[in-house]
Structure 1
Amino acid sequence: MTTTLGIALMGTGRMAHVYGPKINAHPGLSLEVIYNPRMTSAQKAAAQYGGRAMDDLDAVLSDPAVDAVVIATPTDTHVDYIERAARAGKPIYCEKPLDQTLERVGRAMDALEAHPVPFMLGFNRRFDPDNRALREAVARGEIGRLNMLMSSSREPAPPPIEYVKASGGYFVDATIHDIDLLCWIAGERPVEVQAFGSCQFDPDIGALDDFDMTMTTLKMPSGLLCHINNSRSCAYGFDQRLEAFGDTGMVQTVNHRDDTLVRWDATRTEAREPLKHFFLERYDQSFYNALDEFHSALTEGRAPSATAADGRAALAIALACARSAREGRSIAPDY
């Protein structure tokens, strides 16, 4: 029999609207509360997904029906909610990143050490079936010794400039996903990074001294080299590919399409429709799988994967990449 856990969903923004349906779809999770300090927002979300709308955080965290919290609020609120939930003894699932600064991440980790509740960070791309299959193939030795890892992650169009202003910079906002994914596949973290950034698509992003196109190299202790290329614009859609190259072979993930039929005729060969998905569609299953891992860890009495320490390391690497791009030299991450 599946153990059911009562969930308080913190927040009512874009990511909360991702997690609300996934909580409802999971047989072991029950959406008990939707919290927002603005009651009207909480009520609107509760009308869509169920649960009780609440605007009193103390009442949410003392509610006996709430077994765990899912934090899907803006990044700059994560640490405060982690501290409050940890003090209340509630297990925590938190959308990435923990924060945009190592200092505030340290605050969250101190709270989790003082009040040791189960904690999982939402690096959802670890839970994408294709990415997990690639990692497992590498672990089984299908390509021999791993020599290189490469990630291409390109978005359809630049985000609104107000989003960019609060994003923490392209490396912290976007490259951090690739960083965590490649470190997870490799089983090690870089001793050195070299990154370059450019602004090719949106001059408003450049005016903020940020980038809309980056290339990053991570040098691992084993000698493994990882390459990440990111772009905030891609004419053919949301381009998401991984490649693992070893001394006896290679494995790759490919893009998802609505239309998988390969067509050949007098005017085209293998032509397909452009990629239509953005991250909410492409990684839809991964969000459910991440919550399933959270549920399994809690009900099995083990620590969830994707830890706070993983989040701190990924942020340290992303900040080192940003510094490398600004200073034009390789940087050792500050772990």
Structure 2
Amino acid sequence: MRQVFSTRGQVTVEDVPSPMITPGAVRVQTAWSLVSSGTERTNISGQRLVDRIRREPEIVGKVWDGLRRTGVAETVRLVRDKMERPIPLGNSLAGVVEEVGAGVTEFAVGDRVACGGTGHANHAEYVVVPRNLVVKVPESVELRDAAFVTLGAIALNSVRRARAELGETVVVVGLGLIGLLTVQILRAAGARVIGVDVVKDRVGLAERLGAERGIIAGETDPVKAVLGHTAGVGADAVLLTAGSESSEPVNQGFEMARARGRVVIVGSVGMDLLRETFYRKELDLVMSRSTGPGRYDPSYEERGIDYPLPYVRWTERRNMEAVLQLIAEGTLRVGDLVAGEFPADQAPAGYDALAASPRGVAVLLRYAPERPAQASRGFALSQRGNAGPGTTRVALVGTGEFARRTLLPALQRNRDVTLRAVVGGNSGTGLHDAKKFGAERYTTDVSEVLDDPAVDAVVIATRHHLHATLAAEAARRGKAVFVEKPLAMTLDECRTVADAVATSGALLTVGFNRRFAPLARRAKDTVAAASGPALAIYRVNARALPPQHWLRDPIEGGGLVLAEGCHFFDLVCWLLGDEPESVHAMAPPPSGEAVDEIVATIRFSTGSIATIVYSISGHPSLPKERIEILKGGRSVVLDDFQTLLVDGKRFRASADKGHAEEIAAFLRAVRGQAPLEVTVRDGVRATALALAVMESAATGKAVTVSGAGRI
């Protein structure tokens, strides 16, 4: 199918596989999609480094931190990868349901629907969209008009946040697409609307769409004009739908508003606020977050958990439904906002036309109405011709940042490896990675890989909640399996994977790379040579992640103690060469749904004791990991895998955490040249220990660890 991307700051149309249906979602054949004048230009300019730094100066600090941690060459490679990676464009469309995912009962094949959501409602011939971002289109509404649903919901949510009442005077600053939709919704609510913009044609359009007064900012002082229009009182509310790096719009909004009025920030504007006017007028400053309650909440958007109507009247989805109702009634006129219509294949021309139009604020992309006999979910890319004797043919499932940054380069460094296939998600961006690393095939259907007799080994690098299911199924098909940590998220999942491996006899390893770091191996040899029980302290100064990061999600990531902590639980067990028997853990109050930080003391079968301190509260200048082990008159101090003190003697190495060697070791095992160094038993043990740690922290009691032999 065809899909629109921003590639290196330019709009492109690419052939990509059709997306796979997922539970809780619908697969839609797109009829029309909407290009807006503001939001998507931001996405496109975000791939231009100068524009990105100007808007987000904090990324300079991130780059500097990367230079300090990984060096110049690696940092340059990561920045280049970030800037060159295609970005799917689009967030608002209408079409017809072609397939319904498991658990969805409110939609049926053939339903006319409108869809929203960045990353879901892309400019593409087919999309898969979660149920809470899909609404039915009334019979009287053309699909062409229904494609405005997302931008309409943004405008409607801003009006709700403004609490505009009948007869109030409301100023809308910025008459782009969202601003002009907002003008019409306010007028329908009985407000007296003043529109402000620097573009004369847009001001005139706002007046034709219902604004009582239009102000051309470049020709008239908007503050004086608003105060003059309101007899010096000021507006009851000011909605800032403009996009500007300057703080002038918000501070002018303060001047336009009456005492105890409301100023609502809808667009991206500067926030260097002038306190004097803000305070003197005792204003309410309100943020309007996109399409309404539910936006940015994975439980709502991704998992389809709705907010109960008696408690949250207007959610993201209910706002979308209300917008379509306004269009059906003729209250919301969207036809006048269109600068042109273009076939989806001509999307670059559509973007150019939108940028050149003085009046139009939107472009519509139309898609061929004929239905293909079978939309392809995968296609061949190249034939490298090196799959001869001794070549291991590998398929990668998952194209997230870690796979791109670490696993694919590690595989590529092995000359006797052929990247048989890459399985990506529904965004279409994985195709870029498949081409970049020379894959023979790219697909969105994992069953293609599992059914392919030419695939010797499968590398699983998806989000964590998919690990166990994919690993077990690949093992049942007789594939050698490399699954990133954690192996599983529950003991039941551990049993499923272990049973599949035992029954099939397949090789399965888990991505515990730290075991393969050169200095970690030297440390283990020292510990193994000493007698008696050991005492160990393992301190981890982990990077804090945003609250909505998927690793902190208990469903998809499992929380940081499981998601990342399993690395450290595995390493300490391996270093001590011992089995954990019990654990006692404590944790500070969590900042989200899952525990973020932990202090866990583990007792081992031979009497050894290890304490692991995992924290996200430290300063980034402190090296991430430090391990101290005391045993039988010997001492080992491993500092961030770069320095090692053994009985006072110092050893140094590059910042090598063993990723390349763990891949090489797995490939040797697949070829029968060496046994697996990390087995399913190790993966089970790490998950069981992480779960025991979280249980102990929750109960305040010591917990017995369910090891690989006890699940």
Q: CA deviation at 1:81?
A: 1.5
Contact 2:474 2:481 in 1 (8 A): yes
Mark the CA change 1:244 to 1:229 in structure 2 (over 3 Å): closer, same or farther. same
Q: Which residue of 1 aligns with 2:456?
A: 67
Question: What letter is aligned with 2:636?
Answer: V
Q: String of CA shifts for 1:230-271, please: whole Å, max 9, x gaps.
A: 1113212442111110231201112367xx9xxxxxxxxxxx
Q: CA deviation at 1:29?
A: 2.2
Question: What letter is aligned with 1:55?
Answer: T
Q: String of CA shifts for 1:133-188, please: whole Å, max 9, x gaps.
A: 110111233xx534212211111333443321243233212322111111111122
Q: Which residue of 1 aligns with 2:687?
A: 315
Larger radius of gyration: 2
SS at match of 1:251: strand
Matches within 5 A, 1:246-285: 246-255=631-640, 282=655, 285=657
Cα distance in 1 for residues equivalent to 2:639 and 2:389: 34
Question: What letter is aligned with 1:241?
Answer: R
Q: Which residue of 2 aligns with 1:153?
A: 540
Mark the CA change 1:70 to 1:124 in structure 2 (over 3 Å): closer, same or farther. same
Cα distance in 2 for residues equivalent to 1:158 and 1:35: 27
Contact 2:450 2:477 in 1 (8 A): yes
Q: CA deviation at 1:58?
A: 3.0
Indicate which of 517, 523, 540 corresponds to 1:134.
523
Q: String of CA shifts for 1:182-225, please: whole Å, max 9, x gaps.
A: 111112222211111114xxxxx5242x3333211111121111
Q: CA deviation at 1:111?
A: 1.5
Cα distance in 2 for residues equivalent to 1:187 and 1:219: 13
Q: CA deviation at 1:64?
A: 4.1
Which moves more between the two structures, 295-304 or 111-120? Answer: 295-304
Q: Which residue of 1 aligns with 2:567?
A: 177
Unpaired segments ≥5 residues, structure 2: 1-387, 644-653
Q: CA deviation at 1:28?
A: 3.1
Normalized per residue, the structure richer in helix is: 1
Mark the CA change 1:54 to 1:207 in structure 2 (over 3 Å): closer, same or farther. closer
Contact 2:528 2:577 in 1 (8 A): no
Matches within 5 A, 1:85-100: 85-100=474-489
Unpaired segments ≥5 residues, structure 1: 200-204, 261-280
SS at match of 2:677: coil
Q: String of CA shifts for 1:89-136, please: whole Å, max 9, x gaps.
A: 111111011111111121111221221111111111111122111101
CA RMSD in angstroms, aligned pairs only: 2.4
2:5 equivalent to 1:5: no
Mark the CA change 1:44 to 1:237 in structure 2 (over 3 Å): closer, same or farther. farther
Contact 2:515 2:521 in 1 (8 A): yes
Q: Which residue of 1 aligns with 2:426?
A: 38
Q: Which residue of 2 aligns with 1:225?
A: 609
Mark the CA change 1:160 to 1:125 in structure 2 (over 3 Å): closer, same or farther. farther
Indicate which of 184, 204, 211 corresponds to 2:595.
211
Equivalences, count: 304
Contact 1:155 1:238 in 2 (8 A): no
2:493 equivalent to 1:104: yes
Cα distance in 2 for residues equivalent to 1:62 and 1:222: 45
Q: CA deviation at 1:321?
A: 0.9
Q: String of CA shifts for 1:274-325, please: whole Å, max 9, x gaps.
A: xxxxxxx955x51111111101112235541211111111111111111111
Contact 2:392 2:416 in 1 (8 A): yes
Q: Which residue of 1 aligns with 2:588?
A: 198
Mark the CA change 1:2 to 1:219 in structure 2 (over 3 Å): closer, same or farther. farther
Cα distance in 2 for residues equivalent to 1:232 and 1:282: 21
SS at match of 2:395: strand
Q: Which residue of 2 aligns with 1:243?
A: 628
Q: Which residue of 2 aligns with 1:84?
A: 473
2:665 equivalent to 1:293: yes
Question: What letter is aligned with 1:30?
Answer: T
Cα distance in 2 for residues equivalent to 1:197 and 1:54: 42
Contact 1:119 1:303 in 2 (8 A): no
2:511 equivalent to 1:122: yes
- TM-score w.r.t. length of structure 1: 0.83
**Relative contact order (alpha carbons < 8 A, sep ≥ 6): 1 or 2 greater?**
1
Question: What letter is aligned with 1:21?
Answer: P
SS at match of 1:334: coil
SS at match of 1:245: strand
Question: What letter is aligned with 2:681?
Answer: A
Q: Which residue of 2 aligns with 1:56?
A: 445
Cα distance in 2 for residues equivalent to 1:211 and 1:14: 24
Cα distance in 2 for residues equivalent to 1:58 and 1:168: 25
Q: CA deviation at 1:63?
A: 3.0
Matches within 5 A, 1:316-335: 316-335=688-707
State percent identity of aligned pairs. Answer: 29
